[in-house]
Structure 1
Amino acid sequence: MGNFSDFLPYTANGLSSIGFPTIFPVSYRFLPTTSLHSCADLRDPALAFNILITVLLFLVLRPKPIFTYWCLVCIGFWHVTLFSQPQASPPPIDTAFSIFLPALFVAYAFWRLAFRFVVPIFSSMPIEATVWYLAPFWAGVLCNIIFDEIPISRLTASDIDQRKGGITALVIIVIVVLFIVVNQVRVIRKTGWLPYYLGWYILGALTVVVLSQLPGLEFRLHHYILAIVLIPGTAFPTRLSAVYQAFLLGMFLNGVAAFGFASILQTAADLRRDAPIGSALPAFLNNATNLNSSIPLQNQTIFWSPIPDDSWDGFALLVDDVERYVGAALNFSLASLQSGLPHFFRLAYTSGGTAGDFTKAGTLWPNGTWVDPLPGPS
């Protein structure tokens, strides 16, 4: 469609949009019907098919435990890669194979450390094996969907603080995990292996403490790493151990297939995503002298303050959320803007062509009234 103005807020299909009462140059419209075909969402059929295959594997085919285990690993990994949470569209198969091989090595370690002690116990109990393994396994594989409503995206202090209900959700998760760990410790203590496991976990905790103190890096506990840490503690032939290790295996496959083997240590920039970087913000210098309804919009100009120091070399200006100017000038002509509509302006310093934080939107109303942006970055 190109230029379109006055996008109205709308609510449909359980979703609500936000209005945008000005013009946008690259607009498009969804038609109610289309001549295009062969576009289908295969996630649900693929999930149903893969669940059916794994059920048949446990109930009908009943191969050796190690074969069953490797089938779960492969089916779970490629289901995430191709259907439930691909890294891109279409799924990058080359990237998937680069992750698949190291994932198989980790899965082999899981088998040696935990699964080989539990899976064979259920060989003569196919119905129990199906219940205790498949339900939690698929819950782990689809953990991005199952836990989508939990207000925690990443286990970092800044992310938890910024999300409403994040601290409450974290407390509940910690209580549940603590209950599971205490119960599993009780099981391990009965077997006499507690000192051995406790020693390794203490060593791991000390290693984490050392790593977390490295300058310029922040410790990030990805969910695939959490699965790696906890699976060795499930190497005991109980029904709960089967549930735990099945869920953790699915969670591991979800993590590595969807995001790769992300680093346990990341820089602040890695964790920031598109959040503000905390840079200085420029200021607009507009008033009733240069902006008022008696002057045609095409003859008006907005102004901003000069660069305060040598750390910046220019400005970037967004007009109606489209970058319209990058350079060292201290003003911008409004001659190209459409009159009769409100317009929104965001300004940032630049250095070497890279913009810092943008201000919140300053608003120029059709009657010539200028409203300064609120404090803080966009």
Structure 2
Amino acid sequence: MATMLDYIHEEEPTLLRILDNFSETTDAKLANSKNILVLATGSSYNACLAAKVALEQLGDVSITIEEPYHFQHYGKLSSAIDTVIAVSQSGKSASTSYALEALEHSELYTIALTSNLDSSLAQKADRTIDLNIGVETVGFVTKGYAATVLQLMLLGLAIGQAKGLPKEKVQQTIKELRKLIKRIPSIIEASEAFFAKHEAIFKLSERFIGIGYGANWGTVKEFETKFTETVREPSQGFELEAYMHGPYLEADSQHVLFFVETADENAQRAEMLRKYMEPAVGQTFIITAGRSDEENVLGLEIEGEKFFSSLVMVIPFQLFACRTAAAKGIDLSQRIFDDFDEVLKSKL
């Protein structure tokens, strides 16, 4: 039986295969994409948030991400929207499928991103992009999350191509993504060592907070999802500035704060916040794209565009979730709430 850890180790070959399958053939329909509505929930939503900056930069588009149930029942479709992307790894998300179905008779260009090409979601869209990961049997998705981030980045590249992005830029982007993906085994190894060093803190802590900015807002939201699903202790991910507007007031000695940092204009502000909060909480850790030998800093040593970093900066949190659950005595192979989807009709 495959485990969460197995799928984490499969991320590098899976992402390299996706990258190898990227076609430089131009899709003329994508050239008309300017304002895109993305419908997704759960880890798919987090992946869209992590890929948003890259997708916008590469495709020269504006992205709006909506929870599909809320959008269908309470939202209003902007007249500026020309393209809709519906994302569901399994293709079974009822809310995503129904929201896309509600747009079926519009003139919008619709794209489904899923690993289930036979799903109703795939059948409702004008175009379907295969996540190309097969079936991830563990409910706490890891490989599928990373694949979604990469496929969305590549979709941004494809939109850029359709709009005349120079071939050299396309090839440079592919090269940079490949270099990033090949860092994954080293990131896993460094994350394992970091966890082993701080295992007692992970095991005993009762409140976990992730703080990120830019593309890594999506990373800390996925941290929130993974820790909630597996560690089953109160866990939240905040955008840097949002944390400063109220959430900091609950800080106490039971809190562990993770700061996800890349080298941009927000790094100094994040460091100021960390130093301010350090005396008020049990522990602060930094996950940085750079290099570090400091005790409480995990340096991933990755280079390139900062908005690509979210593709791999989630991996430490995936591993921490798996290891922390085990340290707390939680057996992730034992299913809980097994009838939830059937009773609540959340999956088709």
What range is the shorter-chain TM-score in? under 0.3
**TM-score, scaled to structure 1:** 0.23
Greater relative CO, 1 or 2 (CA 8 Å, sep 6+)? 2
Bigger radius of gyration: 1
**TM-score, scaled to structure 2:** 0.24
